[in-house]
Amino acid sequence: MDLGAKIYIAGHRGLVGSAILRELQAKGYTNLVYRTSAELDLRKFDDVVKFFTAEKIDYVFMAAAKVGGIVANNEYPADFIRDNLLIQTNVIDAAYKSGVTKLLFLGSTCIYPKLAPQPLKEEYLLTGELEATNEPYAIAKIAGIKMCQSYNRQYGTRYISVMPTNLYGPNDNFDLESSHVMPALMRKIYEAKVNQSPQVEIWGTGTPKREFLHADDLAKACLFLMNNYESNDIINVGVGEDISIKELAETIQRVVGYDGELLFNTTKPDGTPRKLVDVTKISNLGWKAEIELEAGIRSAYQWFIEHHVAVAK
């Protein structure tokens, strides 16, 4: 991408979009376009088409999505499948209609079958049943991938699909009803420390294993792939290592400085038993994650203290 190219970051205030915006600014890209959901509702096709027609966008980072953890996915399945299908369909089609040069679509590793072999290779997509707790969201993301691939085949577009592993970092969602495991644990353990609670309840057994990628590393990967990747095949982005939820909770406990007990509620769902991605493909292209997990957690916790805790006061 030329430094003066017009680049649209969809979802610029979220965890991923804000990291991509920071990375583009740091690398000297100056012609950046973004809109809040109040300014542009991506679920409304006519509004999206008008926006793309007026702005004459060159490149799109498609980071806008309705996202959440087990609780939110379980309680609002219709919202997750409807909103994500609308958002990605409208942006992908409007990008094509307005002649966008290239689009990067962000999926998720939850698209892979629940019991797929580990680590998760790109070719495992659609080879088995999905995890029930996030199936509507996963199906929407799979539809987005297939839409990008289909537009490439039929219209000759340059749309690439990137599958990041579990993410964390600045601008994460710390709402206990709708957040993912990392920010939920961080907030729970912080509040237990402040309230001097003797224990913190954590859903599940603590045995499932997860891989965690800092959003700033993903942003670097997205810029790298936009400039260096052209395949119609999906590509994973991760660190290639995972830890158990119990180990994660203990790491956060150490970072927060909480001395109480971690109590695992085994009556609650665990979700997918393991979700480690195979990063061979992106490694062979010359990219790898740089931010070590505990250092990343410390920086994410600092952001949480500065933005959530300070604002609450």
Q: Is residue 266 part of a domain?
A: no
Whether omega for the bond prior to residue 119 falls within 30 degrees of 0, making it cis, is yes
**Measured in Å, how far apart are the chain's first and last C-alpha atoms?**
43
The per-residue pLDDT for 260 is 97
The per-residue pLDDT for 261 is 97
Q: Is residue 255 part of a domain?
A: no
Q: Is residue 205 part of a domain?
A: no
CB atoms < 10 A from the CB of 36, how many? 9
Q: Is residue 259 part of a domain?
A: no
- The CATH number covering residue 230 comes to 3.40.50.720
Known binding-site residue numbers for NADP(+): 11-17, 106-109, 141, 164-167, 180
Q: Which domain, by its residues, includes 33?
A: 7-173+212-240+275-291
Q: Is residue 196 part of a domain?
A: no
pTM of the model as a whole: 0.93
The per-residue pLDDT for 31 is 98
Q: Is residue 199 part of a domain?
A: no
Q: Return the active site residues.
A: 137
* Tens-digit pLDDT string for the chain (313 aa): 999 999 999 999 999 999 999 999 999 999 999 999 999 999 999 999 999 999 999 999 999 998 776 677 778 889 999 999 999 999 999 999 999 999 999 999 989 998 899 999 999 999 999 988 889 999 999 999 999 999 999 999 999 999 999 999 999 988 877 778 899 999 999 999 999 999 999 989 999 999 999 999 999 999 999 999 999 999 999 999 999 999 999 999 999 999 999 999 999 888 778 889 999 999 999 999 999 999 999 999 999 999 876 555 5
**Amino acid symbol at 241:** E
Q: Is residue 141 part of a domain?
A: yes
Q: Please state the domain count of the chain.
A: 1
Q: Phi and psi at residue 71, in whole multiples of 5°?
A: -60, -50
Q: Is residue 251 part of a domain?
A: no
Known binding-site residue numbers: 11-17, 106-109, 141, 164-167, 180, 188, 203, 210, 270
The per-residue pLDDT for 157 is 98
CB atoms < 10 A from the CB of 2, how many? 11
Listing DSSP states for the chain in one string gives --TTS-EEEETTTSHHHHHHHHHHHHTT---EE---TTT--TT-HHHHHHHHHHHT-SEEEE-------HHHHHH-HHHHHHHHHHHHHHHHHHHHHTT-SEEEEE--GGGS-TT--SSB-GGGTTSSPPPGGGHHHHHHHHHHHHHHHHHHHHH---EEEEEE-EEESTT----TTT--HHHHHHHHHHHHHHTT-SEEEEES-S--EE-EEEHHHHHHHHHHHHHH---SS-EEE--S--EEHHHHHHHHHHHHT--SEEEEETTS---SSEE-B--HHHHHHT------HHHHHHHHHHHHIIIIIHHH-
Known binding-site residue numbers for substrate: 188, 203, 210, 270
